[in-house]
Amino acid sequence: MKADNIPYTDIIDDQKDQKSAKKEVLKRATIATHGGPRPSEQAGMLNPPVYRASTVVYPTVEAYKRRHDGYYDDVIYGLYGTKTTFALADAISKLENASDTLITSSGTAANALAAAAFLSAGDHLLAADCVYGTTRKFFETILKRFGVEITYFNPRIGDEIRTEFRRNTRVVFLESPGSQLFEMIDIPVVVEAARAAGAVTLIDNTWATPLYYRPLDHGVDVSIQSGTKYFSGHSDIMLGSISVRSRSHFEQIKDMAGRWGNSASPDDCYLAHRGLRTLDVRMERHQQNALRLIEWFARQPEVARIRYPALKDDPGYDVWRRDYAGASGLFGVELSRMSDHAASAFFDHLSLFGLGSSWGGYESLLVPAWPKPVRVASAVDEDCELIRVHAGLEDPADLIADLEAAFARMRAVTS
């Protein structure tokens, strides 16, 4: 796909209703706005208060003996959460169409705990080659050390995924679109193969959020979010969530988090819950700004390709169009080869775009990315010069002016 052949009107279709396995009583924007306890359950307060606690006391010995009856629903010890934690978990469960949700200290923790909950020494983990780099490091440096076998598959493998399963395959870990190169995985195909093999499917769904894609409705067993990003929306918290269809899966994950002593700050839970209220309007603006920036990037002679599954010429477009209700603000831009001197000229003097590793907040970001060194099952162009772009909430005209200046600086040192 040549970037200069992408007319803006062909970039994305009109918003469409998400296909769902279950009929929704409320639309997702409404669920995001109102999810969690009702004001009538909180003395009229709209938002749940912040409960900070380690110790929880009981009125009688009998009540203390019964405390584990409420292990998964009630406050028994601060490590397992407070009412603030459970209010956020309830809101996310409604948005994910999940039976239960666990809140963790970060998105990285959510990925690690969810995978580890279903794996033992001698088991086999099948992971998409496009998974987030920190997740991959956990697989390689921790799970392998504990005796778990790991193989990676090309995210565009399709039906051939069946040949990747072994007798001891217990978990399939997905991320779609993939980190950096934004490949789309045909998730229903993978889910069907995993179910036939008796493996549990997990997906990092942070790019789309459950507002634009509900993995559990498409047969995935575990849906993971880095709440640090779009759930928060303000780049000031660390949080993760793990949502499941099965209560037994939830109990396995909850016990794993408890044994590792992982918990989320109630203050961060409060902020993430507040962020959920505006998720719909923020995601719409992120998407609109991404499209405006893509239209501009497509006209630049240095741009060889734009990676964004909502583009009609993108290899993953058909899967995205079939299953997703929208696209986020994160995409990739491939340039012709850029020298270190040119990269410094481009990145070092940006006025609005930040140079930062996270994304999903209100601010726009640009970072160079190097997918080639970590991929083992996917072909990546050796000369690929990739910029990962997060379109924030600023006025797109101002963002484009910042980009124009960056390209002018780069051209000045390469001419």
Question: Which pLDDT score, from 0 to 100, does residue 47 have?
Answer: 85
Which helix or strand (DSSP H or E) is residue 412 part of?
Answer: helix 396-414
In the predicted structure, residue 270 carries a pLDDT above the cut 50: yes
pLDDT of residue 336: 83
Contacts of 406 (CB under 8 A, 6+ apart): 345, 346, 347, 349, 350, 353
List, for residues 194-208, the tens digit of each pLDDT value: 999 999 999 999 999
3-state helix, strand, coil in the chain (%, to 5): 40, 15, 45
Task: State residue 45's pLDDT score.
Answer: 83
pLDDT tens sequence across 338-378? 888 889 999 999 999 999 989 999 999 999 987 765 667 66
pLDDT bucket at 230, cuts 50 / 70 / 90:
very high
Q: Give start-end residues of each CATH 3.90.1150.10 domain in the chain.
A: 3-16+280-414
Least confident piece of the model among 18-22, 275-279, 281-285, 344-348: 18-22
Residue 325 near residue 213 (C-beta atoms within 8 A): yes
Q: Does residue 204 or residue 30 have the better pLDDT?
A: 204
Q: Is 313 helix (H, G, I), strand (E, B) or coil?
A: coil
Q: List the CATH code of the domain at 3-16+280-414.
A: 3.90.1150.10
Q: Give 161-197 pLDDT, tens digit per residue.
A: 999 999 999 999 999 999 889 999 999 999 999 999 9
Backbone angles phi, psi at 40, to 5 degrees: -65, -20
Q: Which of 56-60, 192-196, 383-387 has the highest mean pLDDT?
A: 192-196
CATH of 28-276, one of 3.30.565.10, 2.60.120.260, 3.40.640.10, 3.40.190.10: 3.40.640.10
* 239-268: burial string, b at 16+ Cβ within 10 Å, e else: bbbbbbbeeebbebbbebbbeeebbbbbeb
Q: Rounded to two decimals, what is the model's pTM?
A: 0.90
The reported pLDDT for the residue numbered 68 is 59
Query: In the chain, where does the domain assigned CATH 3.40.640.10 lie?
Result: 28-276
pLDDT digits (tens, 9 = 90+) for 317-343: 999 999 999 999 999 999 987 888 889
Q: What is the pLDDT of residues 84-140, one digit of tens each?
A: 999 999 999 999 999 999 999 999 999 999 999 999 999 999 999 999 999 999 999
Q: What is d(CA 105, CA 264) in angstroms, rounded to the nearest whole number?
A: 4
